[in-house]
Amino acid sequence: MNLTTSTDGQILGRVKCPGDKSISQRVLILGAFMNQDMVVDGFLNGEDPLSTMNALNQIGADISVDEDDRVLLRKRKQSFHNSDNALNLGNSGTGLRLMLGLTSGMGLKASFCGDESLSSRPMGRVINPLTEMGANIEALEGKLPISISPSTLNMQYKYELPVASAQVKSCILLAGLASGAGIEIIEPIQTRDHTERMLSNFGANIETTFLDGKNIIKLAPNNILRAKNYTVVGDISSAAFLIVAALISNSPGLEIMNVGMNPSRTGVLQALKKMGANIEVKNQRLESGEPCADLLVKQSKLKGVNLSGKIIPNIIDEIPIISIAAAFADGETTIRDAKELRVKESDRLKAVSEGFSALGIMHENFEDGMSIKGAKDQLIIDQSISIESYDDHRIAMSFLIAGLKCSKPITVKDCKNIFTSFPNFIEITSSVGYELEK
């Protein structure tokens, strides 16, 4: 599915932020593990969370989504069981890594597969620590297909992350939870802490301390969790596309409701405010242990900035759309320490660079980032332009937002991937004044 932009968009109005993808997948996994009746509101009914739900049901969970997009988790009589057929996680790297931790911890026999994009992504970062814990895992050069055989994990495990990664951290915590092991994880830079917050919300004995510039997360052995209904806050990674749309368009104001404001995720707001963004945070509150708020965003005169170091793990998913903001800022923006982008759903640095080349945006690509010279004003396009998304939802949405500043419509190819994380993206952009045509 290709999408073509329009040239007369004016972003304004009020929208509700779609549910957080990372949290939606985690609450499915923990909810199924607890095996108690439970209702989840605000769930992101997108392809990635649904892939995780289907995989859980395949090993014995009883999860469904009703007509109001509420998730119903039902207590079942049987325990989780082995699966003769491969668990297909589609495009979901989060789902695959977390399910590897859960199933290894429970000592199940299972195999895993995914789509072409997921099959190309390295999984050694979770396979190696799980193997150290005692898991029996077979993989082809650290990638899918992956199979696990029944095993018993070590009852105490300590691991220092070589690279900051919330997915690796969560995988190890879930393996410890499922096996009853005590876990200590040391992370060099704080990554998103949704798993820790959710475990605490359901009664786990988990604590995080800060020592010598590093986070130390300790999960006590043999936790007993207690289910309670859960509300998923909005995904700030999805809100970022709407925020940048309002900042670079002729927007008198866009209000985005129910945005997750977890401190480990709000780096995108820090980066954009550093660029001069007019973003007002309103009605701050807690939902199921996660902070959230409403955001009021207005058109802003942005300026180039330098982004590197500790903020990068916090904004790694938002760098493509931050790059679009930088393309229409005054001056040069430099992004470094972001080599992780080369092993996402696509090589995102390469994908952004090729899109910029097609649009005539001056930039330089580095191994770990890029520099971008802002165009400031509308891009004058003389002919129709097609931009390759590389089957990557964040690349597709980023360049569709860039179309707001192009003199003629542009076409972004292969946009079906958007439904993995933001299933109502087309409807929401239309509701705030920006039409996209299939």
List active site positions.
Answer: 317
Neighbouring C-alpha atoms within 13 Å toward the C-beta of 321: 30
How many angstroms separate the Cα of 15 from the Cα of each of 40, 254, 428?
21, 8, 7
Cα(217)–Cα(190) distance, rounded to whole angstroms?
A: 10
| Residues contacting residue 155 through CB under 8 Å, at least 6 positions apart | 179, 180, 181, 182, 221
DSSP letters of 27-67?
Answer: HHHHHHHHTS-EEEES---SHHHHHHHHHHHHTT--EEE-T
Q: Can you tell me which residue has the tokens 């800022």?
A: 329
Beta bridge partners of 72: 39, 64
| Residues contacting residue 233 through CB under 8 Å, at least 6 positions apart | 17, 19, 20, 23, 42, 258, 259, 260, 261, 287, 288, 290, 291, 292
Cα(221)–Cα(314) distance, rounded to whole angstroms?
A: 29
* Beta-strand pair 136-140/143-149: antiparallel
Tokens of 327: 């393309």
